[in-house]
Structure 1
Amino acid sequence: MILSTLDLPRLALSIRQPWAHACAAGWKDIENRKWRTAIRGPICIHASAFNKRNFEEDREDYLEVLHEHAGHPKPPTHEEVALEGLTFGAIIGTATIVDCITRSGSPWFFGRFGFVLKDQRLLDTPIPVKGALGFFEWRPRVTNHEPAQQAAPAQRICFDGHEN
């Protein structure tokens, strides 16, 4: 169990929503990138700031993976993968990078490179942080004066469409 921000990894990787939530929740086991990394070990998952156009595009791709490839018995509908419950502009979880691959049988792999994630977990309370490209040290970027952007209180999207 993570007790304080001091227990969190030093580096973060910014990921657009809803992919960031899927990674932190442990559903998505690979984060796709156009570049390779030699970084291994624990990282923080940062949900990037809200961008309506990016969110709409990513939501369509996300649903396609869930419905056609992930094989979950009851993937969420378009309406269920909405802004409600997603946090933007904050550290939302942690994961451990165990490998960087160029091929995988995972339905989540569709990039040039894939960072293989293990031991993912969502934070109970997101930490507002200004993001950056690539891996970045997040502590100097904490925005204490601004709450994390969240559309609705304490909802988290699950594959079965229920809140948890």
Structure 2
Amino acid sequence: MKAISLLQPWASLIATGAKKIETRSWATKYRGPLAIHASKGYKAKNLDMAWKEPFFAALESLRVTEENGDVSIRFPHGSIIATCNLVDCVKMTPEFIDFVKSANGHEYDFGEYAVGRYAWILEDIKALDNPVPAKGKLSIWEWDGELL
């Protein structure tokens, strides 16, 4: 199965179904099943965004309240966390960006929208019950593992 590695919180936003468009600087001709891999590495500034709206609400299912009352967000890393179908890759135009901005939800907030970038349209997103450890790679890559 083809796979793509994403940093958190974007990988989990896709897994929760809050994000259905992956924005990229490059196009792909690939269409079909795609595994979503949560990269092992992370950037603290990206994870800090998870505590701000609209990220915080979208990631509610990953929040855990500790016995002492502290709240944490449990992000899987270094694992396949969801599957989906990549159904289209659209070059962004001003009209496309305006459409995404005007749509319900927070899709626009969860991506990098600029004319000339690409929107990968994802459908049939299914989070895995148990993340499957995997070593990620750049670009689209072939994942030979099995879904548990």
2:67 counterpart residue number = none
83 and 92 in structure 1: CA distance in 2 versus 1, 3 angstrom threshold: farther
Whether the aligned pair in 1 keeps the contact of 2:79 and 2:131 (CA below 8 Å) is yes
2:33 counterpart residue number = 42
Whether the aligned pair in 2 keeps the contact of 1:40 and 1:99 (CA below 8 Å) is yes
Q: Name stretches of at least 5 consecutive residues in structure 2 with no aligned partner.
A: 65-70, 101-106
Higher strand share: 2
**Aligned-CA RMSD value:** 2.8
Distance in 1 (alpha carbons) for counterparts of 2:58 and 2:17 = 15
Q: Which amino acid in structure 2 is aligned with residue 42 of structure 1?
A: P
State the secondary structure of the residue aligned to 1:96: strand
Say how many residue pairs are matched.
Answer: 122
16 and 83 in structure 1: CA distance in 2 versus 1, 3 angstrom threshold: farther
Whether the aligned pair in 2 keeps the contact of 1:48 and 1:88 (CA below 8 Å) is yes
1:85 counterpart residue number = 74
Q: Please report how far the alpha carbon of residue 64 of structure 1 lies from its aligned counterpart in structure 2 after TM superposition.
A: 5.8
2:132 counterpart residue number = 127
Percent identity between matched residues is 34
Q: 2:47 aligns with which of 42, 54, 59?
A: 59
Distance in 2 (alpha carbons) for counterparts of 1:64 and 1:96 = 29
State the secondary structure of the residue aligned to 1:35: coil
**Structure 1 residues 113-122 or 81-90, which shifts more?**
81-90
TM-score between the two structures when normalised by the length of structure 1: 0.63
Q: Please report how far the alpha carbon of residue 128 of structure 1 lies from its aligned counterpart in structure 2 after TM superposition.
A: 0.6
1:96 counterpart residue number = 85
Q: Please report how far the alpha carbon of residue 61 of structure 1 lies from its aligned counterpart in structure 2 after TM superposition.
A: 4.8
Q: Please report how far the alpha carbon of residue 50 of structure 1 lies from its aligned counterpart in structure 2 after TM superposition.
A: 3.0
95 and 83 in structure 1: CA distance in 2 versus 1, 3 angstrom threshold: farther
State the secondary structure of the residue aligned to 2:15: helix
1:110 counterpart residue number = 112
Spell out, residue by residue over 1:22-43, the C-alpha distance to the aligned partner (whole angstroms, 9 max, x if none): 1011110111111111111210
State the secondary structure of the residue aligned to 1:88: coil
TM-score between the two structures when normalised by the length of structure 2: 0.69
